[in-house]
Structure 1
């Protein structure tokens, strides 16, 4: 109609109705590389099905709804009885149910279980990251429980179940259960040995009564929690069930829910123990050693979660620029925007490739792979999670003002992006963990060198980076002040080695030039213009 002010043109269609897994070339290539031929078709089919679910308009809407309607704490019922329950939007339960049924808590006894779960976790994070917390805690609790065969026999079948049962009732009456974790206290932070929660033995059967608090309790509506407390023999790990075997509720007093920057759909709580019944897990005084395998698994999930967030941010940016027209052409074809998108794409692919390599090492279980994980997990957790916020922010900028508007979905990614760096041991904790591996476990660095050495001679910039890393490690004076620098370099060299061996030449070339060879700036979009950036961007494009 002549004079109309409301015609709509040059707007980008939503990125929905596509297979999130199959559209991710870096992820599919990693899965095909690490899964044996006898399982490949099964695993690819399983992940593609989850990818289609994840990319559907309905499930994407559930993710938005869960974040727009955060959980609410109900300390008492209408009659004044203390109930300490958290109410979630129905979309939260739908998402969590899908995650459980997709096997995100069922890695431990499945063929290639960690690899297929890692890929699924990376895909599912792109729908809604908050429900990844209980899924991750439940998955990670299994190795800690295995230190006590009786507890493992009782709980593991429910934790690895693909049935989501949200009802509060005794675990032995449930087909599936979820776990949370409580380590941090307000006076101690990451120094868990400063914990003051007290554990008083009740009998010789490993039962105790806990009194104290936890400043952060993850997933407070879970069926059980692994917590640390001071027993007579020192800091010890305990299992706290939410509901006792006789149907009465254990004493888990939820004081308040955290008001967080992001991760709005997920409940994080402050809780009090006041005569709370618990069972010891492992030996008294060995709480950190008992729970450390759980921590290692959740840290790998932080890497996977950040890789997933980066992938979704890059997918949204490339999708937008593929359709948007500016100055007489597609935005994706403009040299400067192409440079930005390619720079983001190589960061995302490096994160995905590294995360899946670590997951494959978990499946292998051999001595060398375990040694590699000891140094590579904290280095990857340090570096990949720190790269996530700038990737999310730059991707939002690719959409211009639209990227600052909630409806685009990018603000949710931006708010979520710092979380994995802060939780499960922030940057300094990871860097110091890398140092401990270097100083106390020489086998860890040997395994690392064997891994990166497989690419020696393939790229002179990678060779130079390996040489410089060895030079820096030869002098360990004042090393604690350089711990972040070392963790960063260890992660970058490992990423470079993997990309040189497995990524397309244009991706490896761009990464080595900008991340290892010094031919790149401090901001994204500063790759050497002579590289094949169009191919890099095309590889990152989600085909809806």
Structure 2
């Protein structure tokens, strides 16, 4: 009988993820873990089901039907099976509401993102509207409109699938992109004094959400970001039809995340409610971005973990050059290098998630709040880039099979490319880090030093790198162009130092139980280097890019 290679099999994402299980043990006490176990197990079970289904059935994508058979405008969007299952899973297992539960130690966000981490890779990016809905909760709370909060939050945090609302995020326009200050969608008062929106939004993720938060410029308000307002809209009428003034022009044909319905829309008088005074809308979306960027980080981790799990299992099943791939020193070294980077990223991502819960609960001191503001964009930008690199390496680790569509592996790479783009590209986030640093990286460095386990010999390289970053900033701040040009290198350096610090804490906790694996991952991660500061001057960049 001819040889047929076995494909990689997905082990249970909860039971066979030692990094996750060690973190759960270190973070929650026995009673808290017991309370989480049912949801986490169920989400792991669903991940296995969804993975098997994806390999056995044709891939589903959303389909827009603009007109019905009789010429009526319907803009009906057919969704995939996985998306139709999303509301029930969300409400049953607390993917949204658990993040808002009170917890004496501020661990509600840690518990929520453990759920998200297990669900994401199976969700066909249903986690995208969940992230935006979670962000909308934060924005509405910050806005302080008690009537709007009472109206929307029970739906956003519902435990009943039929009552659940999702929120979209309508920011991007053709003229602006990340530069939302150039937004042209206009808000005008009608004869009854209600706001209505007019214009075109070029990229609206999860258009099927029942609500959205939209930036718009009040008529006559002037130019610039400060003149923009933030508006809440409901997209559906009671009978399920679209609201008057909302038309879907087309669904986007994207590289990845293809199950996620992303649309271009035209607004022609869509009713809206301003969140507070219709000014400083960009400032008002900041609470939402802190949430959605954390979701982006945790989802990037989930994708990395899925790719590593499949590449690792394939290495056990594939024989080449006289033995199993896992026994080949170079292949084993390659997998270990990726796993060490992932483990450090995991420590940083879940460290930010835990900090978020402590900040929201009022349990974080001023230094921790300041560190969280910097670590949130740092974690997002670094894990976004790392997810692309690791998924690409994992496809390569599967050889030619990694390039074959119906193995399911290429989709991992296409989908991963979204992480460094959504919620701010790497460069946009790096500039955000500059603004968050204010007085430079020294305060963050002091906070990280305070987190480092006592008498750990691996601390010296991290502290030396933090000192180098502080010196670079002091020199570069004298010339704004140099500071901006080096922002990405500075951010990546600080992210790696933060990841090493939090991984060191995890290694110390595991070491007390006789588990030396996190310490080995820490040593390997630090061997890859921490320093990513730029070396090229502005004139060198100009010379490199110059054309004849």
The Cα shift of 1:395 comes to 0.5
Residue in 2 that maps onto 1:226? 213
| Cα 1:373/1:65, change in 2 over 3 Å | farther
Mapped to 1, the partners of 2:94 and 2:120 lie a distance apart of: 14
* Other structure's SS at 2:472 match: helix
2:304 matched to 1:310? Answer: yes
Find 1:92's aligned residue among 80, 83, 106: 83
On the 8 A contact 1:105/1:162 being kept in 2, the answer is no
Listed as ranges, the gaps of 5+ residues in structure 2 are 222-226, 508-517, 533-548
The Cα shift of 1:380 comes to 1.2
Residue in 2 that maps onto 1:193? 181
Mapped to 1, the partners of 2:50 and 2:435 lie a distance apart of: 43
Residue in 2 that maps onto 1:481? 485
The Cα shift of 1:38 comes to 4.3
* Other structure's SS at 2:274 match: strand
Mapped to 2, the partners of 1:108 and 1:517 lie a distance apart of: 35
> TM-score, structure 2 length as denominator?
0.86
Residue in 1 that maps onto 2:167? 179
| Cα 1:226/1:66, change in 2 over 3 Å | farther
| Cα 1:501/1:81, change in 2 over 3 Å | same
The Cα shift of 1:96 comes to 4.9
**1:239-318 matched pairs, under 5 angstroms:** 239-244=232-237, 249-250=242-243, 251-318=245-312
| Cα 1:67/1:429, change in 2 over 3 Å | farther
Mean Cα deviation higher: 414-423 or 324-333: 324-333
On the 8 A contact 1:353/1:499 being kept in 2, the answer is yes
Residue in 1 that maps onto 2:132? 137
The Cα shift of 1:90 comes to 2.7
Residue in 2 that maps onto 1:81? 72
Residue in 1 that maps onto 2:392? 393
The Cα shift of 1:99 comes to 3.8
On the 8 A contact 1:62/1:92 being kept in 2, the answer is no
On the 8 A contact 2:8/2:311 being kept in 1, the answer is no
On the 8 A contact 2:449/2:463 being kept in 1, the answer is no
Listed as ranges, the gaps of 5+ residues in structure 1 are 166-174, 519-544
Cα deviations by residue, 1:270-314 (Å, 9 ceiling, x for unpaired): 001001111111221121122221122111111111111111111
2:109 matched to 1:114? Answer: yes
**1:403-422 matched pairs, under 5 angstroms:** 403-422=402-421
Residue in 1 that maps onto 2:537? none
Mean Cα deviation higher: 315-324 or 90-99: 90-99
Mapped to 2, the partners of 1:36 and 1:216 lie a distance apart of: 43
Residue in 1 that maps onto 2:324? 330
| Cα 1:388/1:236, change in 2 over 3 Å | same
The Cα shift of 1:95 comes to 4.2
The Cα shift of 1:410 comes to 1.3
| Cα 1:46/1:94, change in 2 over 3 Å | closer
Find 2:158's aligned residue among 157, 161, 176: 161
| CA RMSD across the alignment | 2.3
Residue in 1 that maps onto 2:470? 470
Mapped to 2, the partners of 1:38 and 1:238 lie a distance apart of: 42
Mapped to 2, the partners of 1:484 and 1:452 lie a distance apart of: 22
Mapped to 2, the partners of 1:63 and 1:182 lie a distance apart of: 30
2:39 matched to 1:40? Answer: no
Mapped to 2, the partners of 1:248 and 1:485 lie a distance apart of: 49
On the 8 A contact 1:255/1:270 being kept in 2, the answer is yes
| Cα 1:66/1:262, change in 2 over 3 Å | farther
On the 8 A contact 2:99/2:112 being kept in 1, the answer is no
The Cα shift of 1:93 comes to 0.9
* Other structure's SS at 1:516 match: coil
Mapped to 1, the partners of 2:55 and 2:429 lie a distance apart of: 32
Mapped to 1, the partners of 2:58 and 2:288 lie a distance apart of: 27
The Cα shift of 1:63 comes to 4.5
2:11 matched to 1:22? Answer: no
Residue in 2 that maps onto 1:70? 61
The Cα shift of 1:7 comes to 4.6
* Other structure's SS at 1:446 match: helix
Residue in 2 that maps onto 1:496? 500
| Cα 1:322/1:120, change in 2 over 3 Å | same
